[in-house]
Amino acid sequence: MEMLNEKSFASFTSSGKKVVEFTTTWCGDCKRIAPDMPEITQSFADSFQFAEIDADDEQAVAEQYNVKGIPTFIVFEEGKEVGRLPSRFAKTKEQVMEFLESMK
* Residue spans per domain, the chain: 2-103
pLDDT in tens, 34-57: 999 999 999 999 999 999 999 999
Which listed residue (27, 33, 62, 96) is catalytic? 27
pLDDT in tens, 14-29: 999 999 999 999 999 9
CA dist 17 and 19 (Å) reads 7
Cα 33 to Cα 7, 10, 11, 16, 78: the distances in Å are 26, 25, 26, 25, 26
Please check the confidence at residue 64 and state whether its pLDDT lies above 90: yes
Which listed residue (30, 55, 67, 100) is catalytic? 30
In sequence order, which ranges of the chain are alpha helices (DSSP H)? 6-13, 28-33, 37-43, 59-64, 93-103
Q: What is the pLDDT of residue 90?
A: 86
30 is catalytic: yes
- Taking alpha carbons only, the member of 42, 57, 43 closest to residue 4 is 57
Q: pLDDT band at 8, cuts 50/70/90?
A: very high
Global pTM reads 0.96
The mean pLDDT of 78-89, rounded to a whole number, is: 95
CATH superfamily ID and name for 2-103 = Glutaredoxin (3.40.30.10)
27 is catalytic: yes
